[in-house]
Amino acid sequence: MSSLSQSAASPDASHVLVVEDECFVRMVAVDMLEDAGLPVAEAPDADTALRLLEGKAQAFCVLFTDIDMPGSMDGLTLAARVRARWPHIRLVVTSGRVRPGTDALPDAGCFLPKPYGRSDLLDALGQAA
């Protein structure tokens, strides 16, 4: 069991914030994480995610975000802002269209290509630092 899964078993476990504009894809990702015993919050875009983080950033341990989203910023910009403001939050970025270079990801961020399975997602969350 990964350290992420072990921490999720405690009543005060930190949440994973899933940011995905495609409703069905977001629902599947949330289901995968919840089935693994992880508490999850979700947002349909980066602006909503930032509003959630503003109020309770300490509640989150991982940001899992798609790159291509509508709104004022994409997932890479969101990840960079989260890293700058809340360095304790681990970052996992995903896309089925874009494959960013390592220099495009914030420090210690992890990229997970779509489509992904449950074990791929959990592995990526565990690898993110």
pLDDT tens per residue across span 103-112: 888 888 899 9
Report the number of distinct structural domains present in the chain.
1
Tell whether 4 is covered by a domain.
no
- Tell me the C-alpha to C-alpha distance, in Å, between residue 106 and each of 25, 29, 31, 93: 24, 22, 26, 10
Q: What mean pLDDT comes out for the span 4-28?
A: 73
Mean pLDDT in residue range 27-40: 96
pTM of the model: 0.88
- Please check whether residue 6 lies inside any domain of the structure: no
Q: CATH number, domain at 46?
A: 3.40.50.2300
Residue 31 lies in a domain: yes
Domain range holding 84? 14-127
Q: Is the residue at 8 inside a domain?
A: no
From the CB of residue 53, how many other CB atoms can be counted at a distance below 10 Å?
Answer: 22
Is the residue at 2 inside a domain?
no
On the question of pLDDT at 5 being above 60, the answer is no
